[in-house]
Amino acid sequence: MTFVPLILGIPIQSLHAQVNFAPISSSLGGAGIANLDQLEGSFLNPAVLPHFKDFSIGGVFGQGSVVANQDDQVRGILAADCTTLVPGSFAYIDAKRTGLLAAEVIQKYYSLSLASFVRNRVTLGLGLNREESQIVDGGKYVENNYTIGLLYSPASELAIGFVAKNLAKPSGKVPVALQLPASIGLGMFFIFAEKFHVRADLGQEIRNNPESKTFMSFGVETRPVDYIAIRWGFGWDNLRDRTLFTAGLGFVGPRLSAGYSFQNEIQEDGGPRHMFDIGLPF
């Protein structure tokens, strides 16, 4: 069993409230649709789950935002059980968001994912998502949605993924800023020269995007020596004219893993976000 406290961020392709459960992805430009990391992969693309055979549980905490005049405080728990015939994962996130609306917003996010092999080296995943948003001294809004993901991994050093997130149309009563972002995306993961782990994603939001503008993410992780990972990446959100630079440093040992990641908005006046994660195997 692995216990992994994580620090998280908001995906750059999201105008809305959904959090990114992926501290490694946060240091790699936000890329991860085709990643092969168990805990974070199960939320970037639930189809990753059958590629693992163990049980993991984690806790999350984070604060800050790359968006100007906005601050997010996030905490929660998540777990992934890949020891069963149909692997699954669960997450609960509690967030306090300032600057998203005129009033402070308290949000609770739940996710339940299941996945299975459908053909040799091809997996299919389904995620059920629920978000509850309470505006302080205002109304409460609830959205239920779902995500579908596919992953094809012909070799341990290559994977290609597809994900369609939050496909159900939310109620018209939910403010746009509180809606879960609906998007489709393609991603690739590959290992180059044994030491360079490369991720790249391309996608677009499919609601509130009349010109069909895209987002792109790219990141590279390299391990110059045993147990040490150096990470960097970029993210481009053409819908909001936003560019994000990310970087990180990780220790990945047999009994302990830990990491630091940094995100900074290049084009706007948003502040940097600093994140830390640690993992302890049992």
- Percent of the chain that is helix, strand, coil (3-state, to 5): 5, 55, 35
Instruction: Look at phi and psi of residue 242 and say left if phi exceeds 0, alpha if psi is from -120 to 50, else beta.
Output: beta
The SS3 call for residue 152 is strand
For 63-67, 69-73, 188-192, which range has the lowest pLDDT when averaged over its residues? 63-67
pLDDT digits (tens, 9 = 90+) for 232-274: 999 999 998 889 999 999 988 887 778 888 888 887 677 777 7
pLDDT digits (tens, 9 = 90+) for 150-208: 999 999 899 999 999 999 999 888 999 999 999 999 999 999 988 899 999 999 999 99
Which tokens is 179 given?
């809606």
Q: How far apart, in whole angstroms, are the C-alpha atoms of residue 72 and residue 178?
A: 14
